[in-house]
Chain A
Amino acid sequence: MPIVHPEVVVTRPDTVLRVTAHPAPIRRSVRPDVVPAIEVEGVTKRFGDTLALDDVDLVVPPGGVVGLLGPNGAGKTTLVRVLATLLAPTAGHARIFGHDVVEEPQVARRNLSLTGQYAAIDGLLTGRENLRMFGDLLQLTPSSARRRADDLLERFDLVDAADRRASTYSGGMRRRLDLASSLILPPRLAFLDEPTTGLDPRTRNQMWEVIRELVADGTTLLLTTQYLEEADQLANRIVVIDHGRIIADGTGDELKDRAGGITVEVLLADSDGAADACRVLAAAGLDPRGVTAPTADLEVPTDSTQGLGTVQRVAGALQAAEIGVTDLGLRRATLDEVFLQLTDRLPTDGDEPDPASSGNGRPATNGHRR
């Protein structure tokens, strides 16, 4: 079981595309004697003209956390809903612990639990009534259902609100109740669709704790998220999906390595001088980009063999032009950058051209974008 440490990582909102992708998925060895928790074979899902899933293959052995990462409309929820027996695939097969979700949905359901993207709780019932109801529907004896509801209310810090209608709950409380509802019977396989979207950092850390406890108890987890730091923190494997296709698959480090990006970051004494500094560096034969981030005003792409040389050239050129610098250093690509580059999205500033978008090897047949 991988040990992951709870800590808050500040994401950089503005990042730049600058590395080249290798979209071929990493092949994983699958032990033939272990029934995979999830087995997806050529699953395609079409909604009218929209190709939400395009020939997806995925095998997840039991144990651990897989982070399913992708931008809006990538097909994350669709894949989770197919696996949770809510949607029949247009083509292909999906199995949960060896049980086909279309052929044997009831058996598959006994092995999984779903916490959807939007809270699946009854707003007119109280938190306690919700948990009791789901317990009854899982055929718990009345005393078990009552005890289980009490335990979960306690564990999810909902005791004070237990007898209030769920519609009066805050967003974070709803999410906690929602997750609690899916854990009435400890599941072998849990799907969490964006479990921390819209949560404040404290609540999110609580969520992460619960997720880690679940995994420590032996539950296999598939977690979708748009936050790379979350995937990096929680998942021992990250699967990147875009336009309904899996475009990368590996550990966080593997993805960063494959993107191979190293940059020289420069924080100027005067941020307004970024354009001048870029001109100076361009004149010196470098390829600088302005960025707006707390730690850098501009950055220059390089690689691990030429990194120090690039540092020297940047430092020399800026010194010759008498431009003040407060910080300068080599930095490895963040997952954010890998993500943006893999999924071919531009930063939202709009002041960056997109030189990396051509030839990054994205599959030619795309799903339709929303």
Chain B
Amino acid sequence: MTTTTDPTTPRDGRTGDAHGDPAIQQHQRGGLATALTDGWTLGKRNLKHFTRLPRLLIFSTIQPVMFVLLFGYIFDGAVRGALPDGFPSYLAFVMPGIFVQSTVFRMTQTAVGLADDLDKGVVDRFRSMPMSRSGVLIGRTIADLVRSMAVIVLMAIVGVLVGFRFASFVGAVGSIAIVGVLGYALSWVFVWLALHVPGAESAQSAAFVFAFPLSFVSSVFVPATSISIAWLAFIARNSPITAAADAARGLAVSGPVLAPTLKTFGWSVALLVVFIPWSTHRFRHVE
């Protein structure tokens, strides 16, 4: 795939006739390959940011660990009786749920990070370079996916330490993966949001307005069947969050697997098909 740029070929390119410098070699890649390599280049950049801002690193790991402990110890006694069969404790029920919930909230950071970037000069340089159209957005969403997967693994370890048990190793990996799939799709929704709401602060607020009801009106904390208000129950039953929580729960502990997994994939593909092109188009026209 790598070829040396031939300086004698008249290219309508960046080097022009006068500038062909044989010492500078470029890859010749197609559109999708460029988008992915640019995405990876910028994803690495975003992950470096993350490790260089210890503040971010600490807060984004303390909070989910705190959640695991709170749910495991505080709510256990009150709700244990209302749990479906197969769940010996509230921790066993809620753990896969908070994988999803935590991922949804982690992905709101996609909106914040992108809005932040758009205020910085460096994105102007990206946009004036002949790089792929979606590279900046792919880089952002990839980095946030890696981050949220790392946080979930950390939560799982803490969970196991306080008594949570996965049904199997495959179940553990599968439940984390299915949450990652939906999380990645949702991060594109937050990309879209950041491109329509100017400024990091307002992007953050808007993302929360979106993330809160989405994660609570679902089977994350309680079985969807236990919601008594009919229209809320309807939303909860059909929410992508419920699908992912049920799938993760089925894989990690017990319950149905196939139907919620298919539903999660369906939702994810639908969100990606709508929001990737829409956001990419929008990104090119932000001024």
Q: Give chain A's interface residues, CB within 8 Å of chain B.
A: 81, 84-88, 105-107, 109-114, 116, 118-122, 124-125, 129, 133-134, 136-141, 143-144, 147-148, 165, 181-182, 185-188, 217-219
Contact = CB atoms under 8 A, between A and B. Distances in A.
B55 interface: no
Contacts of A118: 121
Nearest to B45: A133
Contacts of A137: 38, 41-42, 126, 129, 131, 135
Contact of A122 (B18, B27, B122, B135): B122
B2 A125 contact: no
Contacts of A181: 125
Contact of A136 (B15, B37, B287): B37
A328 to B, nearest CB: 50
Given A137-B41, A217-B18, A185 B24 contact: yes
B34 to A, nearest CB: 7
10 contacts: A88-B287, A114-B128, A120-B120, A134-B129, A137-B38, A138-B26, A140-B27, A141-B2, A165-B52, A182-B125
Given A116-B121, A140-B26, A129 B48 contact: yes
A129 B14 CA distance: 22
B287 A185 contact: no
A109 B129 contact: yes
A106 B285 contact: no
A57 B287 CA distance: 22
B131 A116 contact: no
Residue among B12, B129, B284 with max Cβ neighbours from chain A (10 Å) = B129
Contacts of B34: 139
Interface in B13-57: 13-16, 18-19, 21, 23-29, 34, 37-38, 41-42, 45, 48-49, 52-53
B45 A109 contact: no
B196 interface: no
A147 B22 CA distance: 13
B213 interface: no
Contacts of B52: 124, 165
Contact of A138 (B28, B45, B129): B129
| Shortest Cβ-Cβ A-B pairs, 5 listed | A120-B121, A120-B125, A218-B18, A188-B16, A109-B130
